[in-house]
Amino acid sequence: MANPNPLYGTGIFRRRIHLRADDNAVAVELEDGNHGFRIVLRHDGEQVSGIDVDAVRHPFNTCPEAAVPLQRIVGQRLDISAQTLRDRLVPGENCTHMFDMAALALSHARGNGSALEYDMAVEDEVDGRASRVEISRDGRSVHAWQVQAHHIVAPAALAGLPMMRGFHAWASRQFEGAELEAAIALQRAYFVAQSRRFSFDPPEANPGIGDGMPQGSCYSYNHGAVERALRSTNTVRDFTHTPEKLLRFEP
């Protein structure tokens, strides 16, 4: 099992996603403290014709293999509903982050020439005090919440709502369009931010099977992969004080 991170409580988890849609392709880049991915989704204006994945930085040696189940998106219509996409691709059989990036690309595939950038910041939760959890789109704040023990405490209109299990149910009722898209992205960042609580050094002592994650949490935690999932070395970054380095994919 991983050990507590002695630096937890002193930092901020940061994630950045950049998307650009052109004539027949959408490029999405994602980087945070644990991951660095690039994807390009290609289409003919009606359906997906291909998807390419560049797994730059990832927690396990098995993560790049998740590019294979993601190929199920090829042939899907651009106007497919989010629920149908989840049913056909089965998120638990994919890399969570590749899947989210592909879904985001799909939803913006017809925005020729458009670009957007999301920045997410999740403060460490210290001594039981609420932490600030925020997402901005192209530099403008979309959601800014105070969260304690995995539940929102402010703003008052959202107080008591969960940030983990049950999030998507209430968020889908509360928000729509761009606000819902941003809320889902922020929840995912909050989930990944919990990894800051732990130290996975030395990597060889922390294989995937030792994490105790439920079967199907993601590709690398599935039977057949988790037994082979060895933690990658030198992959964790701390962007607390250097958000400008996000999406540089520095070694």
Strand-strand pairing, 36-43 and 48-57: antiparallel
- In 3-state terms, what secondary structure has residue 223? coil
Q: What is the mean pLDDT of the chain?
A: 96
For 164-200, what is each residue's pLDDT tens digit?
999 999 999 999 999 999 999 999 999 999 999 999 9
Closest CA to 221 of 183, 231, 132, 197: 231
pLDDT at 160 over 70: yes
pLDDT at 1 over 70: no
For 208-229, what is each residue's pLDDT tens digit?
999 999 998 999 999 999 999 9
How confident is the model at residue 127, as a pLDDT? 87
How confident is the model at residue 2, as a pLDDT? 86
For 13-72, what is each residue's pLDDT tens digit?
999 999 999 999 999 999 999 999 999 999 999 999 999 999 999 999 999 999 999 999
pLDDT at 92 over 90: yes
> What are the angstrom distances between the C-alpha of 20 and each of 106, 107, 172, 190?
12, 12, 25, 24
> Residue 249 contacts by C-beta under 8 Å, 6 or more apart in sequence?
31, 36, 38, 56, 57
